[in-house]
Structure 1
Amino acid sequence: MMWTTMSCWNATIKEVLWVQMGAPPEVVARLEEAVASSAAMGPPRPSCVGEDPALDQFIEAYCEMLIKYEQELSKPLKEAMLFLSRMECQFKTLTLSNSDSVERNRSASDQFDVNNIPLDPQAEDQELKLQLLRKYSGYLGNLKQEFMKKRKKGKLPKQARQQLLAWWNAHYKWPYPSESQKLALAVSTGLDQKQINNWFINQRKRHWKPSEDMQFVVMEPHYYTDDNVLGNPFAVDFPHEGFL
């Protein structure tokens, strides 16, 4: 029982020390005062074995629990201290290596200055350009693609618009070019068929309104397709026109 009592007293002191970790300052002060007072009094006197078996069993179990608690807490603390020690060594190594590198570069620079070696500005500029291109080539490529997209979405070239307007004025009564005419317009203007389709769609929405006798034709697209030219009241193919 004497061993159990001493072990329990030691474990209790250790438990108090562990509880101090992360506790507020006022709590830490009270705990330190209690530990100092207990240490001054010394361990409790052992009681007689068998005086209270239930209490003895409880104290023994409690002491074992405190010892396990100490082991569980000490393991992560040791690991943390080991990790901090390794990190400190790595930082010291990096600091020393950087210092050596700076010193070597400084010495090399001083050596160049002493020897007065002539430098080629054009070669330096070329090397700098190559480094910048290697570093930012992907970013520049993305910017170029975005610029091309915005350019396609913007206004059409002036000459291309003039040719489309010429076709529009010549076919104002029925401004629906056939597929062959769209292909010819694409060749002459340098635009693709999607751009041409969009231009005619926007132009009709803004500047054209079918007459009353032509509204039924607009509602029936098959009247003005290439396959049904006879049903179209206005011819849609004009190969004799010069601007096509």
Structure 2
Amino acid sequence: MDYEGFVSSDEEFSGGEVEASLEAQPRSMDRGLKDRLLHKFGSHISSLKLEFSKKKKKGKLPKEARQTLLEWWNVHYKWPYPTEADKKILADSTGLDQKQINNWFINQRKRHWKPSESMQFGLMNNQPGQFYSDD
């Protein structure tokens, strides 16, 4: 018997959509499972998403490291810009990396240092460090 061109009765009545409905069945089962899981664990998932999305703040630097940086700051208060060599020494003595050293000095200058008028004038003329006075 020649089966070429033969159409099953299921295909004949469904318009050839038997395979498509079989594929859709697991999708609807997956959807139902997903809905049940979301209903049961949705609040946990939301809190985990929020926790993972928060930027982790490392917190304060160690007290000994801050004291070392403050000692350097107090000695060099008139021009608190450490050289690369100074930063290397500070990093070695505090156990911090140079990025932490740089950030600490940036924040410290923003929060606690106001250059004198003569320094500000010198900075505008690209002559840093030459105009501070001994007052």
TM-score of the aligned structures, taking structure 2 as reference length: 0.54
Cα displacement (A) at 1:170: 0.9
Distance 2:125 2:97 in 1: 26
The AA in structure 2 aligned to 1:170 is V
Matched, 1:186 2:63: no
Residues 167, 78 of structure 1: alpha-carbon distance in 2 compared, 3 angstrom cutoff: closer
Matched, 1:217 2:117: no
Distance 2:17 2:108 in 1: 79
Residue matched to 1:106? none
Residues 166, 156 of structure 1: alpha-carbon distance in 2 compared, 3 angstrom cutoff: same
The Cα RMSD (Å) is: 3.5
Distance 2:70 2:17 in 1: 84
Matched, 1:157 2:71: no
Alignment size in residue pairs = 93
Residues 215, 164 of structure 1: alpha-carbon distance in 2 compared, 3 angstrom cutoff: same
Residues 221, 192 of structure 1: alpha-carbon distance in 2 compared, 3 angstrom cutoff: farther
Alignment of 1:220-239 (within 5 A): 223=128, 232=130
Q: Deviations over 1:19-73 (max 9, x none)?
A: xxxxxxxxxxxxxxxxxxxxxxxxxxxxxxxxxxxxxxxxxxxxxxxxxxx9975
Alignment of 1:98-117 (within 5 A): none
Cα displacement (A) at 1:164: 0.4
Residues 78, 207 of structure 1: alpha-carbon distance in 2 compared, 3 angstrom cutoff: closer
Residue matched to 1:168? 73
Residue matched to 2:45? none
Residues 196, 220 of structure 1: alpha-carbon distance in 2 compared, 3 angstrom cutoff: farther
Residue matched to 1:74? 13
Identity of aligned residues (%): 60
Residue matched to 1:198? 103
- Give ranges in structure 2 of 5+ residues lacking alignment: 1-8, 26-51
Cα displacement (A) at 1:214: 1.3
Residues 205, 220 of structure 1: alpha-carbon distance in 2 compared, 3 angstrom cutoff: farther
The AA in structure 1 aligned to 2:74 is N
Q: Say which one has the larger Rg.
A: 1
Cα displacement (A) at 1:76: 4.6
